[in-house]
């Protein structure tokens, strides 16, 4: 489903994560991510199929003084969209946040994904219009991080 998500987001060659890497990230000794899945019983009820997932990690608000959830990815298979699975996944994250006294569930959405934006607004979510996402990666990350390492030497 991660490859399907990358294709949907028009980045089919961007996935570097392997199955074993995902397993380690979720269940390894230094696990830092969490996942909720939407599953349905197959005919006969002896097996299940995954219909979607929500991959998330903890954030921390210096103003609120508590953790929050950053939803890295929410994906529901196209055949299962409109069935409530995406809503149920997001609601399960909201329930975790409420139960643990956390104040936020946050995520990004691609500007062209109007169906997702409409869906999120229908839940009561709102865009953070005064904020922009920045990213330092690739060569710029290497150059900047490397400069710090050499300055520390």
- The question of whether 57 is a catalytic residue gets the answer no
Length of the chain: 153
Q: Which of 7, 17, 120, 137 is catalytic?
A: 120
**Beta carbons of 48 and 39 less than 8 angstroms apart:** yes
**CA-to-CA distance for 120 and 124, rounded, in angstroms?**
7
**CA-to-CA distance for 109 and 127, rounded, in angstroms?**
9
Structure tokens at 86: 């995406």
**CA-to-CA distance for 116 and 37, rounded, in angstroms?**
18
Which positions are catalytic? 120
């Amino acid at each position: 489903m991660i490859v399907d998500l990358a294709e949907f987001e028009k980045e089919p060659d961007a996935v570097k994560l392997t199955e074993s890497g995902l397993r380690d990230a979720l269940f390894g000794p230094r696990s830092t991510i969490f996942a909720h899945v939407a599953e349905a019983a197959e005919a006969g009820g002896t097996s299940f199929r995954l219909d979607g997932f929500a991959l998330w990690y903890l954030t921390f608000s210096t103003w609120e003084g508590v953790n929050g959830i950053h939803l890295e990815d929410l994906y529901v298979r196209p055949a299962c969209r409109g069935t409530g699975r995406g809503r149920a996944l997001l609601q399960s994250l909201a329930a975790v946040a409420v139960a643990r006294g956390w104040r936020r569930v946050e995520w990004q959405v691609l500007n062209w994904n109007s169906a997702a934006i409409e869906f999120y607004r229908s839940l009561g979510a709102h865009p953070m219009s005064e904020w922009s996402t920045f990213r330092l990666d690739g060569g710029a990350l290497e150059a900047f991080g490397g400069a710090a390492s050499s300055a520390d030497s």
